[in-house]
Amino acid sequence: MPSIAATLVIRERLLQRLPPHHELWRCHGEYAGGCLCDGWGERQASAQASYEVDFPPGVTPHCVKLHGACYMIWQYEGESPPIS
């Protein structure tokens, strides 16, 4: 997964609030392949670490799944001030 391309895609999705970046309700790591990464958009392989992030009630979507690397990018980009 190209990290520069993934960072740009995730940054753009954060600006659109897709996936949202709110207070996490629950986050757990797993090796569950087959689903699409909500950050990068690529399919996750079963050998890749991934995170399932749940948000508090009332936040849509209520859950996102991210590659391990995308989760780290999402966390970092969500805490950084927007680039003007």
Give residue-wise pLDDT tens across range 29-61. 888 777 888 888 888 888 888 888 888 888 888
Q: Find the range with the poorest average confidence among 6-10, 21-25, 38-42, 62-66.
A: 21-25
pLDDT of residue 81: 61
pLDDT of residue 78: 80
Beta-strand ranges (E) seen in the chain are 26-30, 50-54, 63-67
Q: Which residue stretches of the chain are H helix? A: 3-15, 68-79
Task: Give the range with max mean pLDDT: 19-23, 69-73, 75-79.
Answer: 69-73
Give the torsion sign (CA, 44, 73, 75, 69): positive
Q: Return mean pLDDT, the chain.
A: 81
The pair of three-digit structure tokens given for residue 30, joined into one six-digit string: 């797993």
Do 66 and 38 meet the contact criterion of CB atoms below 8 Å apart? yes
pLDDT of residue 35: 85
